[in-house]
């Protein structure tokens, strides 16, 4: 319940409004891909941010944060050597263990790539345990493509497809929504696991298409976003029907989410 003091070791600007913080504390913070921490900006507040680091390197805590509110702006403004409070890790992980022996289709939209990065690093590190690996990634513009240099590196180990909604001159890649990339994914739907993260509307359309492709609902995993305050299922804010998304999620299979997401404003 109490934040542990961490210090900003490095800060890298990823996009115009997005930075990646590297944090170190008095002890490593082991985590599973897909889990999140509560990050506390001194005197400003605390928010849930997915861990975007490498699960094999828990001594460096990595978070990619986009400045959209008071707390995220404060976090993005932190400089090297400044303190930050960390509680976690919390929540359910991506099913990287259950996916062994199967194809894996990673679908990300915008900043949704950040929570998937630990899973991708895990999949690549243990490449031989999996079948085909594919990532489909959609961003608004070429300038919004996250982790650009890494995407090229990942391409050596997996099929990487990137699309943007609005191209600029010089963009040679795909244009359109991320669902348009799905038919290109070299996976066998009958023996594939999908890990999807992005805006909720994007995840709904991606799921619709994945189901049409023949992926079973229990193997389509989404990372859900709700207002998370306590992260331990006590404050009530993140409820989606019977689920507390902070502890029963954020990663849940479509088979559990479908009845809940079919109700407007649940």
Partner 1 sequence: MLTEDGLEALVGALLRRGYRVIGPTVREGAIVLDEISSAAELPVGWTAEQEAGSYRLRRRADRARFGWAVGPHSAKRLLFPPSERLLSVRRSRGGLVVHGGVAQMPPQALLGARPCDLAAIAVQDRVLLGGAWADPAYQARRERLFVVAVNCGEAGGTCFCVSMGTGPAATAGFDLVLTELIDPDRGQPSYLIRAGTPAGQEVLAELAGRAATPAEVEAAAEVVARTAQSMGRRLDTAGLHQVLTGQPEHPRWQEVATRCLTCANCTLVCPTCFCHTVEDTSDLSGEHAERWRRWDSCFTLDFSYVHGGSVRPSVRARYRQWLTHKLATWIDQFGTSGCVGCGRCITWCPVGIDITEEVRALRGPGGSA
Q: Check the CA dihedral 28-34-38-40 and report its sign.
A: positive
Whichever of 158 and 231 has its CB closer to partner 1, that residue is 231
Which of 199/216 has CB closer to partner 1? 199
Q: For the beta carbon of residue 24, count every other beta carbon within 10 angstroms.
A: 15
Our finding on whether 9 is near partner 1 (CB under 8 A) is no
Interface size with partner 1, residues (CB under 8 A): 39
Q: Which is nearer to partner 1, 5 or 173 (CB)?
A: 5
The CA distance from 132 to 201, in Å, is: 27
Stretch of residues binding partner 1 (CB under 8 A), selected from 11-19, 50-58, 122-130, 221-229: 221-229
Among 12, 173, 241, 255, binds partner 1 (CB under 8 A): 241
Looking at the Cβ atoms of 177 and 232, the one nearer to partner 1 is 232
Shortest distance, position 228 Cβ to partner 1, whole Å: 9
Binding residues for partner 1 restricted to 23-62, rule: CB under 8 A:
40, 42-46
Please, which residue, 2 or 169, has the CB nearer to partner 1? Answer: 2
Name the 3-class secondary structure at 178. helix
Verify binding: residue 232, partner 1, rule CB under 8 A: yes
| CA–CA distances in Å: residue 245 to residues 35, 43, 47, 66, 86 | 12, 26, 14, 21, 19
Binding mask 75-104 for partner 1 (x = CB under 8 A): -------xxxx-------------------
Task: List the one residue out of 48, 198, 22, 183 whose CA is nearest residue 116.
Answer: 198
Check: CB of residue 127 under 8 Å from CB of residue 133.
yes
- 1 versus 168: smaller Cβ distance to partner 1: 1
Characterize 149-186 residue by residue with b for buried, 16 or more Cβ atoms within 10 angstroms of its Cβ, and e for exposed: eebeebeeebbbbbbbeeeeeeeeebeebbbebbeebe
Taking the complex as a whole, how short is the minimal distance between the CB of residue 226 and partner 1, in angstroms? 6
Task: In the chain, count H helices and then E strands.
Answer: 5, 15
159 counts as binding partner 1 under rule CB under 8 A: no
Nearer to partner 1 by Cβ, of 190 and 234: the residue is 234
CB distance 185 to 159 below 8 Å: yes
CA distance 266 to 261: 7
Site for partner 1, residues 198 to 217, rule: CB under 8 A: none
- Of the candidate spans 138-146, 152-160, 181-189, 219-227, the one that interacts with partner 1 by CB under 8 A turns out to be 219-227
Would you tell me which residues interact with partner 1 (CB under 8 A)? 1-7, 40, 42-46, 68-69, 82-85, 225-227, 229-230, 232-237, 239, 241-242, 244, 247, 263-266
């Amino acid at each position: 319940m109490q934040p542990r003091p961490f210090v900003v070791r490095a800060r890298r600007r990823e996009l115009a409004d997005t930075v990646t913080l590297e944090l170190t504390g008095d002890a490593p913070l082991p985590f599973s891909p897909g889990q999140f921490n509560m990050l506390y900006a001194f005197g400003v507040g605390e928010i849930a941010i997915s861990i975007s680091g490498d699960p094999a390197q828990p001594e460096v805590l990595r978070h990619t944060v986009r400045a959209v509110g008071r707390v995220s702006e404060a976090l993005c403004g932190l400089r090297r050597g400044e303190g930050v409070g960390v509680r976690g890790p919390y929540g359910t992980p991506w099913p990287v263990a259950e996916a062994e022996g199967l194809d894996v289709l990673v679908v990300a939209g915008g900043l949704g790539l950040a929570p998937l990065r630990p899973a991708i690093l895990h999949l690549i590190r243990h490449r031989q345990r999996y079948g085909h690996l594919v990532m489909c990634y959609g961003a608004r513009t070429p300038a919004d493509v996250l982790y650009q240099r890494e995407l090229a590196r990942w391409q050596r180990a997996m099929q990487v497809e990137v699309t943007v909604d609005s191209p600029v001159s010089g963009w040679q890649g795909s244009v359109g929504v991320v669902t348009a990339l799905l038919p290109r994914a070299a996976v066998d739907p009958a023996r594939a696991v999908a890990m999807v993260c992005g805006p909720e509307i994007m995840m709904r359309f991606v799921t619709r298409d994945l189901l049409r492709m023949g992926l079973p609902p229990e193997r389509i995993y989404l990372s859900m976003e709700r207002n998370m305050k306590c992260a331990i299922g006590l404050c009530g804010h993140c409820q989606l029907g019977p689920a507390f998304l902070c502890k029963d999620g954020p990663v849940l299979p479509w088979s559990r989410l479908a009845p809940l997401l079919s109700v407007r404003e649940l």
